[in-house]
Amino acid sequence: MLWKHLSVDRRRQAAEAFWGDTAVTAEHAEALSAIAKHLKFRPKSVAVLPAPRKAQYLVALPVITESLALRLLIYYHIGQQRPMMAAFLDVLGIAHDNGLISDETVVPPEADKIRSAVQKIAGSFPATDVALYLSTLSWQDTETWALLPTLPETNPTQT
């Protein structure tokens, strides 16, 4: 799982972005439950903790589900990597709002366009950031981004 390979700092950034969203989601409930179970607390007790504390506990969990890990990575990118996301989508010609795809259904871009977009961001952003973004896209939607895992820019040396 990609989450396990992230540095503690990136995990912390992702967890802080996750808890910074005030809309309660199923993933928030799942995270509260996992933290409570790990700490042997009641979920209600964890829910009232300040966001930075919940983020700290979330980062320290020995295991999280794939769905929660993916949600954390999405929050990380929304909070930390919007310029890269926007640059990638601009080259692909995909409508977006500051890096967030506007349309619910995205037609898989042509392979040449994907390669061009990857090269564009690879030349403008740190390699580990690019690899993490591309890996997250691929994990999130394997059909649309099927080409990404085959590209060298997707294989991080250290994220």
- Which tens digit of pLDDT belongs to each residue from 98-119? 998 887 777 889 999 999 999 9
Contact in structure between 145 and 138 (CB atoms under 8 Å)? yes
Give pLDDT tens digits for 113-138.
999 999 999 999 999 999 999 999 99
Best CA proximity match to 122, nearest among 154, 74, 99: 154
Sign of CA dihedral 71, 75, 81, 83: positive
Q: Rounded to whole angstroms, how far apart are CA atoms 1 and 86?
A: 25
Q: State yes or no: pLDDT of 77 exceeds 90.
A: yes
Contact in structure between 16 and 56 (CB atoms under 8 Å)? no
> Would you tell me how many other CB atoms lie within 10 Å of the CB of residue 37?
12
pTM to 2 decimal places? 0.88
Angle at which helices 111-122 and 82-92 pack, to 10 degrees? 150
The DSSP symbol for 75 reads: H
Q: Among residues of the chain, what percentage have pLDDT more than 90?
A: 82
Q: Rounded to whole angstroms, how far apart are CA atoms 10 and 8?
A: 6
Q: Report, as an integer, the average pLDDT of 83-103.
A: 92
Q: Rounded to whole angstroms, how far apart are CA atoms 13 and 114?
A: 27
Question: What are the two backbone dihedrals, phi and then psi, of residue 144, each rounded to the nearest 5 degrees?
Answer: -65, -40
Give pLDDT tens digits for 30-69.
999 999 999 999 999 999 999 999 999 999 999 999 999 9
